[in-house]
Structure 1
Amino acid sequence: MKKVAAFTQGCLVPSTRFRISQYEHKLRACEIELVQFDAKVSAYPPAAKWQRPWWLLQELIHRVSQLGKLKSYDVVILQREMISTLATVERFINKPIILDVDDAIFLRRNGRAARQLAQKAQHIVCGNQYLADYFRQYNAHITVIPTAVDTQRFLPSATKAETYIGWSGSSSGFHFLYAIEAALRSVLLLNPGWKLHIVADKPPTFTVLEPEQVVFEKWSPETEVQSIQKMAIGIMPLDDSAWTKGKCSYKMLLYMACGLPVVVSDVGMNAQLLKEAEIGLGTRSDNDWIQHLQQLIDDAELRNRFGIRGRQLVEEQYSLQYCTAKWLQVLDGEQFS
């Protein structure tokens, strides 16, 4: 059995859960043992600067101790850098490396760490084509594998959805919501039976939306599927920047897997998905957000049609089964035999 060590950012980090952890059983069935080596606390520094030296020392000691356990492993997967934005102890890894990237990490600290890891790796797996195009200048061995959706978990609801316009994600992405808050308020004023449903680690602080227009639900892994199933429309606002072009549209894919039509910013991978099938509507302005949301609120048949096609697209090209086959092709490559 081939043994693969995966160095992750932390066990509850979304990229760990959806780009590493959920493959464990799938790969084991194919005679590949995948073992996670998580950060001690987090690969990301604490908000308080005075805590960072102690955090960095703890994480480095932890990572060095993990490197000492690699003797029996055949391949190492690095999920980005072991310490966010820095290349540290990765240089001491003496096993074939696959660098797994799902963000534009090259935009941090002039891209030095990203460049060093890309040149050291035998293969790079990228979450979208934009990332692959960038990293190809440092490594010819590139495979695009989207962030997989477990379509056996994320399913359309058997019951009628609430009249919710929904957003699910980390509070770190609230600024994208705040940018369209006025447009959302306009839509909700026109449709008093509808509400904005937010699923996140903490409530947002809106300045224009009224409290009664918003339903907050604290995110948990146990309820994440049911939270999305309550929604009637899924939204994913973004700005148009190099950083967002590196995003892998995962919340959009989760909405689609649950049979939701989507209204999303027409940028990056969002735009790519919109071109692949009739799954929703793309926005470029506040007026677009108002018009497109109103169009879907008014047309239940259109919502249903977009939702069905979105689910089909995820099953065909973004499912855990599809992405497992792509990972097996990488791991069975001659670089790792």
Structure 2
Amino acid sequence: MGSPATEPFLDALAGPLMRLNQEIPLRLRIISRGRRSFGALDEIVDRVDWQADTFGSQLADADAGLMPLPDTQFTRGKCAYKLLQYGAAALPVIGSPVGVNRNVLGQLGGLSASNADEWESAIRSLFASTSAERRGMGEQARFGVDRGFSFRAWAPQWAAAVRL
């Protein structure tokens, strides 16, 4: 899931996903308003137009959430919003340990990957797991979001900040 501006981050997954697709039939669902081509990846890409009233159900129907990021000054300043959205949908998560993502991946029990080999290994590992194990990873991610990032978790600090 992302915006047209962040779609190029998926280019780093082209090689790993195409290699894995030879072993495990994969589909990459991209929820975005973008329309760019991903070259060879286009043959396994399903595009879904991002809409406020449907993206949640689209996420809930997925098998995992991927958040690749290059390690740049810009991406080190990004928040882990996509990881949190995937975790809130009870999806197992794999992300680049860049900036705050490193901490969030730990709190969600996610897998981290920094280069093509690590991405391929992490995705292979995820899909080598049983459906019960993947469901458990998703539940751990959901619990991590609720415990560390939900309104309920931050309500006392919010109330103090607004002097309630």
Same-fold status (TM-score > 0.5): yes
1:282 aligns with 2:112: yes
1:204 aligns with 2:61: no
Counterpart position of 1:169 = 2
**Percent identity between the aligned chains?**
28
Counterpart position of 2:101 = 270
SS in 2 for 1:332: coil
Letter in 2 for 1:181: A
Q: Are 2:126 and 2:134, in contact at CA under 8 Å, matched by a contact in 1?
A: yes
Q: How far apart are residue 324 of structure 1 and its match?
A: 4.1
SS in 2 for 1:268: coil
SS in 1 for 2:159: helix
Letter in 2 for 1:283: A
Q: Are 1:266 and 1:284, in contact at CA under 8 Å, matched by a contact in 2?
A: yes
- For the pair shown, the structure with the greater C-alpha radius of gyration is 1
Q: How does 1:172-187 map to 2 (within 5 A)?
A: 172-187=5-20
Q: How far apart are residue 320 of structure 1 and its match?
A: 2.5
1:292 aligns with 2:122: yes
Q: Between Structure 1 and Structure 2, how many residues are aligned? A: 163
Hey, what's the Cα distance between the residues in 1 that align with 2:9 and 2:59?
A: 19
Hey, what's the Cα distance between the residues in 1 that align with 2:134 and 2:35?
A: 27
TM-score, normalised to structure 1, is: 0.46
Counterpart position of 1:251 = 82
Q: How far apart are residue 302 of structure 1 and its match?
A: 2.7
Q: How far apart are residue 322 of structure 1 and its match?
A: 2.6
User: Per-residue CA shift, 1:198-236, capped at 9, x if unaligned?
Assistant: 00012331112143x111100000101001111101000
User: Per-residue CA shift, 1:6-47, capped at 9, x if unaligned?
Assistant: xxxxxxxxxxxxxxxxxxxxxxxxxxxxxxxxxxxxxxxxxx
Q: Are 1:265 and 1:284, in contact at CA under 8 Å, matched by a contact in 2?
A: yes
Q: Which runs of 4+ in 1 moved over 4 A?
A: none
- Tell me which protein shows more strand as a share of its residues: 1
Q: Are 1:182 and 1:208, in contact at CA under 8 Å, matched by a contact in 2?
A: no
Q: Are 2:32 and 2:48, in contact at CA under 8 Å, matched by a contact in 1?
A: yes
Hey, what's the Cα distance between the residues in 1 that align with 2:124 and 2:113?
A: 13
Hey, what's the Cα distance between the residues in 2 that align with 1:284 and 1:202?
A: 25
Segments of structure 2 that go 5 or more residues without pairing to the other structure are: none
Counterpart position of 1:189 = 22
